[in-house]
Chain A
Amino acid sequence: MVFSLTISSRAFLIVAFVVASTQSVSVNADDVPLNQLIDRHIDATLAERKLSSAEPASDAEFMRRVYLDLNGTIPEPKTARAFIKDSDTEKRTKLIDQLLASENYETHMATFFDVMLMERRPDKYVTTPEWRTFLAESFGANKPLNTLVAEILGADGVDEKLRPAAKFYLDRAVAKDVLVRDIGRLFLGIDLQCAQCHDHPDIDDYLHQHYHGLSVFVAGSKTFKQPDGKFVLQEVVMREVEFASVFDPETTNKTGPRLLDALMEIPEVKEGEEYVEKPSRTVRSVLKFSLRKLLSEKLPSEETPEFARAMANRLWAMLMGRGIVHPLDMHHAANPPSHPELLDELASRLSSSKYDVKDFLRELALSATYQRSSLIPDGIDPETLPADSFAVANMKGLSPEQLFESLLVATQASAVLEQQIDEALSEEAAEAAAAKTVEKPDSEKPATEEPDAEKIAEARRVKRAARVTEFITVFGSVPGQPEGEFAASLPQALFLANSETVSSWVPAKPGNLTERLAALDDSGQIADELFLSVLTRLPGQDERTLVKEHLEAGKADRPKAVAALVWSLLASAEFRLNH
């Protein structure tokens, strides 16, 4: 058994070690591909708990899942049909590689990490498109995850290339307590909020000094408004903070910068010589020794084993629908991992692979654990298969973005959407032109400007984003809070049933699914195309019969009858969930 983690005095690691030793799976971890290692650990625990597991997912089920997880959308029907027909035994592996190499992977990862790191806060100083582009480029280039996090934690917003990375700090207004909490939750898997005023009342591992030790890193940082109006970060001298428990206000404690129990040494700097640029109203203060820089070096590194564990756990949850430690920001002794040894392995592989995200996700997706069906084995009570056993694929709700993109693919309404966007834009242009005509006499009118292709593309992008925002408003979490578990609400059902956005894609329009299906004669063919397009699978015999009967009953107006079928599948739980 290999333990790359330093066994510190921290209680939870000791517990993890003890539990791991008793459940030891005899595996020589180094020689075995991670995907097999995952299955050995998961299966060993299933055997130990005497749980049966689901059958492997069908090609169709696997394909839909892996598309949504790695590319953020469902596949097109012809792609799905080809994959299902393909007899290549390596086709699943090839598909995973293809999806990881796709441009959709970059945008999907950018969205996923944006939502994870910014939690749908409104933009403040760095716009979401800039930030997403930065993230997409990072994931496209497969930038090591520790490097990405180091860039985020070390950002000052001055360097143009890395300016978007400063969004994490800047759009939280560099508010110390918000940052301490979010750095702990997101990068260490530890929610320290209750340790701000005292040791955590319920969690023995979370200490008052952990909170304040982490706060030292960012306590000296503030925003600075440059002469050009741009907000950046500046830093003033901070070496330690004083704190006292609300239960014992008389006793003052001190701590320097610390990452949990690891107290950082910082170089002595002579008083008066701390600054490269001294603080003033007009100049951004810059320290010779930056604590934010220190944080960016020490946190996403081997010296802070919690980082690799937290990241491995988050990526695992992204694909497996649940963390090995769950909730994701509650790593502590009283909330042990469901598979302690596996989590250690995942963390160690993630760090030994130089935080290669693609490789890590690839291995997860290759595992039989990931490729299990969400169908509960026949005759088994679902209650006996707990979510943390990974005996059955855990279902996930589609994110607002996944839902939007998948609806668009399913209804084949890209052309319809483009037309809607262009109509809206030309309406706006006409209105603006009319307003100009009123304002100025003819003689002063500027010559008609040549439409600028870049401007048009940008206007289209903005309009499309506004459509996605509608989905975020209805299906997304509250700004500033993590996405919760899947939950269904009345306004969501009303939105999918009746909103202009969704309902305008469903009826027969040039090139869309309903039009295409309504033009087909054979009801069996219609059923096949319908199910492949919307649910990424072929229909069962019962479903073919249902389609046939419905089309016969509605033969007076076939496009309408088809539209009802299309909608019923779009609004089904099977579409709404990643299963």
Chain B
Amino acid sequence: MKYDPACSSAVHQVSRRSMLGNMLAGAGGIGMLGQLVHPLVAKEIEAKKKQVLIFLLNGGLSQFESFDPKPNTDTGGPFRSIPTSVPGTHFSELMPYTAQIADKLAVVRSMFAEKVPGSHGGAREYVVTGRPPQQGPYPWIGPVYSKLLADNEDLPGNIHITPSRWGPRQDAAFLGPRHASLVLSGGKPPLNVDRPDLFNKELDDTRYKLRQIADLRFSQRRRTAYTEAYQSSYDQAAQLIRQKELFDVTKESEKDQLRYGSHDVGRHCLMARRLLQKGVTCVKVTHNNYDSHMENFNFHLEQLGEFDQPFATLMQDLDESGALDHTLVMLVTEFGRTPVIQPDNGRDHWQDSWSVILGGCGIQTGGVLGATNDNGTEISDRPVHVGEMFHTYMRAVGLDPTATHQVGGNKVPIGAPERAAVKELLI
């Protein structure tokens, strides 16, 4: 008898383990990653503040048209594959710029997850929380970094640049709104960041000062948990309003604006660079429209045509400035796309195998982990579960995913306790 649990519990840690255990036991072999040792000294990494850059390609990037091309097979589609800066590794020809920086990346070609309820939203949540959504709500990875790496900072710890009107609401779950994504909708500054006309600069300082005096008086002899959080939200707001130019991408050089391109994702990547330079701990950039049930090839031609260059440019800039040494980069998507090409040239959702890209801080780059078979219909080497990747994202920046969040009186494991990091990907 089968159940489709409607539950959404933070303590649901049952089942499925046995199923996956069997699959993982059968998987052997390590890619070529083990042979490439990054020259960085661990101590140097420790010294710098860790930052994270997340790219989320919404809709489901096709692995065939990106990082796991299968040209000249029944499933491969019309595009060719091209060599990359890593000898022996090929990408789709839709990613010529990214191909040139492949040595700065680790490619995982064998991601998989079980089907979960909620289609795109559910699968996406699985990828960014490491837990099936019906067990949640768990905090998304950005809020987790904000909590663990930037708890006491004035700058928001977690900024989300999106072409959409809204980001996910309250993605911080039990970590609290302090760590929820600050959403830059359309790449524009957050809402309500402009002072009302009434309060000029001087009077603005005065009103915050008066407010603080009122709070100090009130919080004497009262429980401080609420009042401290409240005060800190205004400190953040005042900071942000003063640093509004943080969000002004036109302050970047004209040359850079040209290099990144005038389309949204170009501007958003440049914004991401700016925010990271200014010290924001976690920046997420989303790019939409990969859900190619029809016209998969045209869609990917168009979307990756936009994405490829600014992504590679940003990676290059981070590398040249030395920021990659302390910045973890990940490029994720909620699932891959079917090997079978539909009659109207579409590819449907596919959770049996897809590709994920990592780079920067703590990552063994310049290699490929895992593989799919000749026509990409199944994983042939080193399956990597989404839950394992969540642990890996934590380990890469020196966090321990087996530690716990304090939630009220309860301890909630940071990563799904039945999973562990993918050692082959870590330095």
Contacts and interface: CB of A to CB of B under 8 A. Distances in A.
B73 interface: no
Interface stretch (B94-102, B108-116, B231-239): B231-239
Contacts of A382: 222-224
Interface in A516-574: 540, 542-543, 546, 550, 554, 560, 563-565, 567-569, 571-574
A4 interface: no
A177 B7 CA distance: 8
Nearest to A480: B8
Contacts of B180: 489, 491
Interface string A380-406: 001000010000100101000000000
Interface in A220-266: 242-244, 246, 249, 252
Contacts of A249: 1
Nearest to B236: A490
B7 A193 contact: yes
B223 A395 contact: yes
Contacts of B224: 382
Contact of B178 (A175, A392, A489, A560): A489
Given A376-B222, A568-B207, A571-B211, A490 B156 contact: yes
Interface in B205-224: 206-208, 210-211, 213-215, 217-219, 221-224
Interface in A140-197: 175, 177-178, 181, 193-194, 196-197
Given A197-B15, A488-B230, A494 B210 contact: no
Contacts of B231: 573
B12 interface: yes
Contacts of A481: 137
Given A175-B6, A491-B182, A568-B210, A573 B219 contact: yes
Contacts of A194: 7, 9, 11-12
Contacts of B213: 546, 568
A178 B6 contact: yes
A507 interface: yes
Interface stretch (B195-203, B294-302, B360-368): B195-203
B193 A494 contact: yes
A489 B233 contact: yes
Nearest to B156: A490
Nearest to A246: B15
A490 B12 contact: no
Contacts of A198: 14
Given A178-B6, A489-B233, A243 B14 contact: no
Nearest to B173: A478
B177 interface: yes
Contacts of A565: 210
Instruction: Among A493, A497, A550, find the residue whose CB has the most chain B CB atoms closer than 10 A.
Output: A497
Interface residues of B, number: 59
A242 B1 CA distance: 9
B371 to A, nearest CB: 33
Given A202-B11, A568-B207, A197 B234 contact: no
Given A181-B7, A194-B7, A478-B170, A495 B192 contact: yes
B341 interface: no
Contacts of B229: 486-488
Contacts of A504: 196
B218 A197 contact: no
Interface in B1-56: 1, 3-9, 11-15
Contact of B192 (A242, A487, A499): A499
Contacts of B223: 374, 376, 382, 387, 392, 395
A210 to B, nearest CB: 14
B349 to A, nearest CB: 23
A579 B156 CA distance: 28
Contact of B222 (A242, A491, A542, A579): A579
A498 B230 contact: no
Instruction: Among B137, B191, B234, find the residue whose CB has the most chain A CB atoms closer than 10 A.
Output: B234
A196 B226 contact: no
Contacts of A572: 211, 214-215, 218
A573 B7 contact: no
A503 interface: yes
A419 B95 CA distance: 56
Nearest to B237: A493
B2 to A, nearest CB: 9
A485 B79 CA distance: 53
A492 B240 CA distance: 13
B417 interface: no
Interface string A462-477: 0000000000000001
Nearest to A374: B222
A397 B229 CA distance: 12
A490 B240 contact: yes
Given A382-B224, A577-B226, A560 B198 contact: yes
Contacts of A202: 11
A567 to B, nearest CB: 5
Given A497-B192, A498-B192, A560-B198, A375 B222 contact: yes
Contact of B211 (A197, A486, A492, A568): A568
Interface in B340-374: none
B342 to A, nearest CB: 30
29 contacts: A175-B6, A177-B5, A177-B6, A177-B7, A178-B6, A193-B8, A194-B9, A197-B14, A197-B15, A198-B14, A201-B14, A242-B1, A374-B223, A397-B226, A481-B137, A487-B176, A490-B233, A490-B240, A491-B180, A494-B191, A494-B192, A504-B196, A540-B217, A546-B213, A550-B210, A563-B199, A568-B214, A569-B214, A573-B215
Interface of A: 175, 177-178, 181, 193-194, 196-198, 201-202, 242-244, 246, 249, 252, 374-376, 378, 382, 387, 392, 395, 397, 477-478, 481, 486-495, 497-500, 503-504, 506-507, 540, 542-543, 546, 550, 554, 560, 563-565, 567-569, 571-574, 576-577, 579
Given A197-B15, A497-B237, A560-B203, 19 more contacts: A177-B6, A197-B5, A242-B1, A387-B223, A395-B222, A395-B226, A487-B229, A488-B226, A488-B229, A489-B177, A489-B178, A489-B180, A490-B190, A494-B193, A498-B241, A540-B217, A564-B199, A572-B211, A577-B230
- Give the 7 A-B CB pairs with smallest separation, nearest first: A489-B177, A177-B6, A568-B210, A503-B196, A493-B237, A193-B7, A572-B214
